[in-house]
């Protein structure tokens, strides 16, 4: 892996001095100040694919003790370490200790999913009068890009220049016909860890043929670091959600959350109604549903906020996307051994997948996911970490 950063010799010297804790004027910190480490990006080898392709790991850090590790396999978030209310650092995302675990990552731990995140009914959609048949990997349906989606490929990565913090850029070219999708799709995602403890995900894509695009990150969070997530308190900024059928495909209805177990407009424990006798809860085995994010304008809007009473850790999600898939790890069954030798049991983590709606290509009333030549797909999601 070759680093491709254009830096003048003078800037290189300055960067060395900054990392050492010196001021930009090279005069050292004032006597009454403590040197603060600069944001840093550290690449290292992570493993090799069965065909020998090298996979790298990028570690992003800031001065507040937050650390994020990104793998070029699946553009995956491998770990996020944040302090709790006592200042103790802990990893708050599910995953594996060793690279080998990510070679068969069936739960999609931490990865970028695409070309189309979530489900497309019966693996088919029609665009401009042509019907496209996609790979099916979720019963009769297409899920998260298919059998070999973006989660299973190695992305090209390099350190990115950002004034906001430590940053890495990952790119992938999805060939025309891959998993059944039309068009050569050039995809990019940039991860930036800011001094404000924000992990910013900026997605971009272009195509040479009309196609559909829906990108998301599939991290499973557990702010305690172990056990289940039922006591976590969540608030979701959504008045409506999209009900599903037994195969978890949207019916096309957009329904109010009021009076249902899906109403998290005020903070409530995730487990407070997760096992109620509600048809939608039964279909999902818990929560596995798309929420329609409340918004009054374009740009970033608050989608969700989660607080862990045990550790005090908080997570806030803002996004430019119209939807948020809230998933409570209902299909985890204890058969996967993850970090620290923990068996990931049911509801060991929750996902907050910012997205366009599931099966949108088959629902004209849903927000459009079509991307055409000359257009640019753009999406931003910000995860903000804290403690209280």
pLDDT digits 0-9 by tens, 31-48: 333 344 567 899 999 999
Contact criterion met (CB below 8 Å) for 115 and 149 = yes
Q: Same domain for 185 and 219?
A: yes
pLDDT at 87: 96
pLDDT in tens, 107-166: 999 999 999 999 999 999 999 999 999 999 999 999 999 999 999 999 999 998 889 999
Q: Which residues, in sequence order, are CB contacts of 330 under 8 Å at separation 6+?
A: 284, 285, 286, 287, 288, 346, 347
pLDDT of residue 116: 98
The closest of 347, 345, 326, 327 to 335, measured between CA atoms, is 345
Q: Can you tell me whether residue 243 is helix, strand or coil?
A: coil
pLDDT digits (tens, 9 = 90+) for 330-348: 999 999 999 999 999 999 9
Distance CA 254, CA 273 (A): 21
15 pLDDT band (50/70/90 cuts)?
very low
- Indicate whether 20 and 50 sit together in one domain: no
Does the active-site annotation cover 353? yes
Using alpha carbons, list the distances in angstroms from residue 319 to 223, 289, 316, 356: 20, 17, 10, 11
218 a catalytic residue: yes
Q: How far is CA 66 from the centre of its chain?
A: 17
Q: Is the domain of 23 the same as that of 140?
A: no
Q: Tell me, what CATH number does 261's domain have?
A: 2.70.98.10
Whether residue 31 sits in one domain with residue 45: no
The answer to whether residues 18 and 105 belong to one domain is no
176, 240: one domain: yes
- Strand-pairing partners, residue 59, are 42, 69
State the DSSP code for 367: P
- Same domain, residue pair 271 and 380: yes
User: Residue 268 sits in which domain range?
Assistant: 39-387
Q: Do 277 and 297 belong to one domain?
A: yes
24 or 79, which is more confident: 79
Could you count the other beta carbons within 10 Å of the beta carbon of residue 352? 27
The catalytic residue among 142, 218, 289, 356 is: 218
Number of neighbouring beta carbons within 10 Å of residue 248: 22
Give 20's Cβ-side CA count (13 Å radius). 12
pTM of the model: 0.89
Q: What is the mean pLDDT of residues 167-192?
A: 98
26 burial (CB, 10 Å; 0-12 / 13-18 / 19+) is exposed
Indicate which residue of 144, 353, 356, 363 is catalytic. 353
* Cα end-to-end span (Å), the chain: 40
Domains in the chain: how many in total?
Answer: 2
Residue-level pLDDT at 37: 53
Confidence of residue 310 (pLDDT cuts 50, 70, 90): very high
For residue range 183-239, list pLDDT tens digits in order. Answer: 999 999 999 999 999 999 999 999 999 999 999 999 999 999 999 999 999 999 999
Residue 242: predicted pLDDT: 98
- Residue 211 and residue 360 in one domain: yes
Considering the domain architecture, whether residues 68 and 15 belong to the same structural domain is answered as: no
Residue 7 sits in the same domain as residue 145: no
Give the integer Cα–Cα distance in Å for 13 and 8: 9
Residues 113, 99 share a domain: yes
pLDDT band at 63 (very low <50, low <70, confident <90, very high): very high
């Amino acid at each position: 892996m070759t680093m491709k950063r254009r830096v003048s010799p003078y800037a290189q010297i300055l960067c060395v001095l900054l990392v050492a804790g010196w001021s930009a004027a090279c005069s050292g910190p004032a006597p009454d100040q403590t040197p603060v480490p600069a944001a840093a990006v550290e690449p290292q080898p992570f493993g090799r694919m069965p065909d020998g392709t090298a996979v790298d790991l990028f570690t992003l850090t800031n001065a507040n003790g937050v650390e994020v590790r990104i793998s070029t396999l699946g553009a995956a978030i491998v770990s996020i370490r944040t302090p709790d209310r006592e200042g103790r650092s802990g990893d708050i995302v599910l995953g594996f200790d060793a690279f080998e675990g990510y070679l068969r990552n069936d739960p999609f731990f931490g990865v970028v999913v695409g070309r189309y995140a979530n489900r497309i009914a019966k693996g088919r959609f029609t665009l401009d009068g042509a019907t496209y048949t996609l790979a099916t990997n979720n019963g009769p349906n297409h899920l998260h890009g298919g059998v070999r989606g973006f989660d299973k490929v190695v992305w090209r990565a390099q350190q990115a220049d950002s004034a906001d913090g430590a940053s890495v850029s990952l790119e992938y070219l999805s060939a025309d016909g891959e998993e059944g999708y039309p068009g050569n799709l050039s995809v990019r995602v940039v991860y930036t860890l800011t001094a404000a403890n924000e992990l910013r995900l900026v997605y971009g894509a272009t195509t040479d043929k009309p196609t559909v695009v829906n990108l998301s990150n599939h991290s499973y969070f557990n702010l305690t670091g172990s056990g289940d997530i039922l006591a976590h308190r969540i608030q979701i900024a959504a008045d409506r959600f999209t009900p599903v059928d037994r195969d978890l495909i949207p019916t096309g209805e957009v329904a109010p959350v009021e009076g249902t177990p899906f109403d998290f407009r005020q903070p409530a424990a995730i487990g407070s109604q997760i096992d109620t006798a509600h048809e939608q809860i039964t279909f999902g085995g818990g929560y596995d549903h798309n929420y329609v994010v409340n918004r009054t304008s374009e740009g970033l809007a608050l989608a969700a906020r989660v607080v862990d009473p045990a550790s005090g850790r908080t997570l806030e999600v803002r996004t430019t996307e119209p939807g948020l898939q809230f998933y409570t790890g209902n299909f985890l069954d204890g058969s996967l051994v993850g970090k620290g030798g923990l068996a990931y049991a049911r509801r060991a983590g929750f996902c907050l997948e910012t997205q366009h709606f599931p099966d949108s290509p088959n629902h004209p009333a849903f927000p459009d996911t079509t991307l055409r030549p000359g257009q640019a797909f753009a999406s931003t999601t910000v995860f903000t970490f804290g403690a209280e």
